[in-house]
Amino acid sequence: MADLDEHSPVFAIAVAAELAEMHPQTLRQYDRLGLVIPGRTRGGSRRYSMRDITQLREIARLGSEGVSLEGIRRVLELENENTLLRARVRDLERALADQLISRPGARVFAATATGAAVSLRAGARPQRNNAVVLYRPQR
């Protein structure tokens, strides 16, 4: 049996409607509007995940606060995009950490007087600049 997570489509529409405290027809309408699109079985039956249930509850909360369906659609779209971006950042951080662990000292940088980054060989030191700089504020 496959591992189940919050995105696994396991709930039939009747169960999902009960968990979300909504009528099954409301879930069908939200599916038609593209607000919450459940997975489908081979036979075409809707299957909702725990994430879908959470979104249905969020729709009900926003609706009770007077947010229009179009506004709710946009909020959900932004929340989903934010979730994807956070996952991407975690993946990139993990990849960076793996690189740093597998290749310590492979990337060493120094800053120039103008603020530009200059790559250095591992173990090399940047050249020192002993120039005196006179600062005169503009008037």
**Taking 70 as the threshold, does the pLDDT of residue 1 lie above it?**
no
Give the closest residue to 30 by CA, choosing from 51, 71, 59, 1.
59
pLDDT, tens digit, 9 for 90 and up, residues 51-88: 999 999 999 999 999 999 999 999 999 998 999 999 99
Q: Which residues contact 110 (CB under 8 A, 6 or more apart)?
A: 117, 118, 120, 126
pLDDT, tens digit, 9 for 90 and up, residues 4-27: 888 899 999 999 999 999 999 999
pLDDT, tens digit, 9 for 90 and up, residues 86-106: 999 999 999 988 887 777 666
Supply the pLDDT for residue 69: 93
Q: How far apart are CA 135 and CA 107, in angstroms?
A: 33
Supply the pLDDT for residue 130: 73
